Amino acid sequence: MRLTQITIENFKGIRDRVEIPLRPVTLLFGANSAGKSTMLQALLYLRELLERQNADADVLSAGGTAIHLGGFRQLVHQHDLGRVIRVGVTLELDDDGLPEYELPYVPAGSEANRAVAFSFRLQTVSLEIEVAWHAQAGAPRIRCYTVRGDGAFMAKIELGAHGRPILSLAQYHPAFDELIAEENRYSGHHEWAGPLGFMDSAILILDHPAVIPQWHHPLRGELKEGAVNILDDLRMLLDFLRPVVAGSGELVLEQLRKIRYVGPVREFPDRGVSAQRTLADDRWASGLAAWDWLGKDIDDETHRETLARFDACLSGHDRLNLGYSVSVKAVRLLPEESELALLLALLPRASEPEDLVERIKALVEPELLSCPLVRRVIVTDLRNGAEVSPQDVGNGVTQVIPVVAGMFAPGGSILAVEQPELHLHPAIQCRLADVFIRALHEQENRLFILETHSEHLMLRLMRRVRETTEDTLAEPDLALRTDQVVVLYAEAGADGLRLTALPLTEDGDFSRNWPGGFFEDRAAEIF
């Protein structure tokens, strides 16, 4: 499964509704303060809505200290409380389709206790959430949760006038034919078939208190007065609808939780400080989670293997070729005033060292082994073999390490990075583009969202597209198709932020004229 589009309206600088394509490599270009990070923030805000129902978010679970939204008043376009924020995504389904849920009210193992996803034969699901200001409450509220299948409306949950959520269905959707056909097979009914013109009257008042479904719980509620139940059992109707109504949201949230956001300025631990042992998603924003991950349990064989591949990516001549290697060392911190430390200091100049050695051996277990064990990341200069701390190497190295670590550390198939090229030499910026391409070949459904000013990174991607078309690539894992990359150009205008998609042609060029900026400036300087 992968996210293929994000929809935004009335969010920060974006006023009118925009549908923004997402490709495995999505580049965000534009002038400073043009609003390039708006799309990233909208994705993280959507996660906040689905995960915590936090419509007034200021900080985000994946944003750390790098993102501060300031709440609804700051988020809504032009701070106009009369506007409604809409943000949503489209998810391309895999062969498994929507989630399957067993019927909880029949004996386990019986034929009736079957999965109720019914395939629905959907290629994509789209989920959109509306957030509006509630004057009486003096706070924003999630007003509507809408699900579309293959681009057509299927169902929505709205906040009713009485404060309870109301579920209503499309008048017709082809996927509902599957639902009815499945019910006919198991119940023996044959009168329901073809277009369901009465589905719009199947309106239910749900029991749960909010518009967002309660994840991993069945839908429960009652029919609105005058509504029609298309099945004999109301509970069964709700179970039939659960894969579409709740399952779509669960799948979208699962994808949004895979976003690993790395901010524009990456930090590293202070000299002599051990990496944090507990891995936390919000520390990726500052870059510190990269060092935490590097310094995790080195006794873990899988981690050692991943760390070796990570190091090869940094130091290999056919990869970034930074000239540095990264390793992890476990050390014990022995206090200087301890008896063992004092004896070790005396050992080099002792006249009878044998006696000291025996005394030292006696202290190893009670004193040395009780000292704190810490893991430190060591950077080795491959030119002279010198081992140094991260503080002793160039900024380009320490800034790119969290970016590359974000690719290799498990669990973050969606990597969103601001300024991945920060402080890097132009040649390394080009090689970094190749690193992103290779990662697409190593793992399915990767998504890289890169806010960048790097012309070099873009030109390397364009070159790989051209070489793929011409079949002139030196290595097959550098192949890049036109449908795997898109460039989004951000411009601030009087009517709000505009995001223009610039797909690439098969010869590695833009399919439309560049809106202005980078390439024209370069040409003006040269000619």
Domain ranges, ordered by start, for the chain: 1-77+413-527, 93-246
Q: What are phi and psi of 487, to 5 degrees?
A: -110, 130
Residue 155 and residue 159: Cα distance in Å, rounded? 14
Q: Are 86 and 130 in contact (CB under 8 A)?
A: yes
What is the mean pLDDT of the segment spanning 275-300? 80
Strands 387-388, 373-381: pairing is antiparallel
Place of tokens 């998504």: 447
What pairs with residue 418 in β-bridges? 451
- Whole-angstrom distance, CA of residue 76 vs CA of residue 226: 37
Q: What is the mean pLDDT of residues 138-156?
A: 92
Written as six digits, the tokens of 505 are 């042609």
Dihedral over Cα of 98, 104, 107, 108: its sign: positive
Q: What pLDDT score was predicted for residue 61?
A: 75
- Which is higher by pLDDT, 391 or 212? 212
Give the residue among 393, 425, 428, 423 at the shortest CA–CA distance from 268: 393
Predicted pLDDT of residue 197: 41
Query: What pLDDT sits at residue 196?
Result: 42
What values do phi and psi take at 169, rounded to 5? -115, 165
Angle (CA) 21 24 27, round 5°: 65
Given a contact cutoff of 8 angstroms between Cβ atoms, the answer to whether 157 and 72 are in contact is no
pLDDT of residue 190: 42
Whole-angstrom Cα distance, residue 305 to residue 312? 11
Residue 101 identity: Y
Spatial neighbors of 262 by CB under 8 A, at least 6 apart, are 284, 285, 287, 290, 402, 403, 406, 415, 416, 417, 418, 420
For residue 104, what pLDDT is reported? 65
Residue pair 25/450 in contact (Cβ under 8 Å)? The answer is yes
Q: Which residues lie below 8 Å from residue 118, measured CB to CB, with a gap of 6+?
A: 178, 179, 182, 240, 243
Mean pLDDT to the nearest integer, 150-163 = 87
- Check residue 198 and give its pLDDT: 41
Highest mean pLDDT among 182-186, 327-331, 431-435: 431-435
Pick the range with the lowest mean pLDDT from 44-48, 213-217, 239-243.
Answer: 239-243
Taking the C-alpha atoms of residue 457 and residue 432, their distance in angstroms, rounded to an integer, is 7
Look at residue 92 and give its three-state secondary structure.
Answer: strand
Regarding pTM above 0.95, the answer is no
- In one-letter notation, the amino acid at residue 396 is G
| 197 vs 340: which has the higher pLDDT | 340
- How large is the average pLDDT for residues 260-274? 80
- How far is it, in rounded angstroms, from Cα 213 to Cα 190? 32
Rounded to an integer, the average pLDDT of 20-38 is 84
- pLDDT mean over 269-288: 77
How much is the average pLDDT of 78-84? Answer: 92
Distance of CA 455 to the CA centre of its chain: 24
State how far the Cα of 520 lies from the Cα of 524, in Å rounded to an integer: 6
Question: Interior CA angle at 212 toward 210 and 214, to 5°?
Answer: 85
Q: Distance (Å, rounded) from C-alpha 24 to C-alpha 354?
A: 65
So what's the pLDDT on residue 273?
Answer: 63
How many angstroms separate the CA atoms of 145 and 287, rounded? 34
Instruction: Please give the pLDDT value at position 159.
Output: 87
Which pLDDT does position 358 carry in this prediction? Answer: 81
**Ramachandran region, residue 118 (left: φ > 0; alpha: ψ -120 to 50; beta: rest):** left
CA distance 214 to 117: 17
Confidence (pLDDT) at 107? 60
- For residue 228, name the pLDDT band (cuts at 50, 70, 90): low
- From residue 150, give the alpha-carbon distance in Å to each of 88, 117, 120, 310, 329: 14, 16, 11, 39, 52
Q: How confident is the model at residue 372 (pLDDT cuts 50, 70, 90)?
A: confident
CB 347 within 8 A of CB 356: yes
**Placement of tokens 């080009």 in the chain:** 430
Comparing C-alpha atoms, which of 234, 227, 161 is closest to residue 200? 227
Is 403 in contact with 262 (CB distance < 8 Å)? yes
